Amino acid sequence: TADDSAGSRKIELFHLCENICPRHDEVMKIFCRTDQRCICYLCLMDEHKDHVTVSAAAERAEKQKGLGRNRQKFLQRIQEREKDVKMLHRRGEAINLPADKAFREC
């Protein structure tokens, strides 16, 4: 899905943050939220000076929180679906019991 690909792109960007800037040979420790990529401090002062930026560590922490919230939502959905399945199974049994009893009495 689109969300999955966006999430995987962001994870890939975090791995890139550990690399060296190809333009300036500096460690990329800054995340440009405007361009959704990691940059070095020299890029920040030049082509990204008017962009929204944070430290790569801060962006990583925020994304991890978001992933944790999404995980909780998915786990809750799974539990709700499991409840629904159990309820449907019980209803099916409740319908079948009178039918089985009537069949045995014939």
Task: Name the band, by pLDDT with cuts 50, 70 and 90, for residue 29.
Answer: very high
Question: Among the residues of 1-106, which ranges form H helices?
Answer: 2-16, 41-45, 56-105
The rounded distance, in Å, linking the Cα atoms of 8 and 1 is 11
Segment 48-99, tens digit of pLDDT: 999 999 999 999 999 999 999 999 999 999 999 999 999 998 888 877 777 6
Rounded to 10 degrees, the C-alpha dihedral 15/35/65/58 comes to 80
Any idea what the CATH number is for the domain that residue 79 is in? 3.30.160.60
| Number of domains comprising the chain | 1
Whole-number pLDDT of residue 94: 79
Q: What is the pLDDT of residue 8?
A: 56
Q: Residue 12's closest CA among 84, 68, 60?
A: 60
Say how far apart CA 53 and CA 46 lie, in whole Å: 13
Domain span including residue 74: 2-105
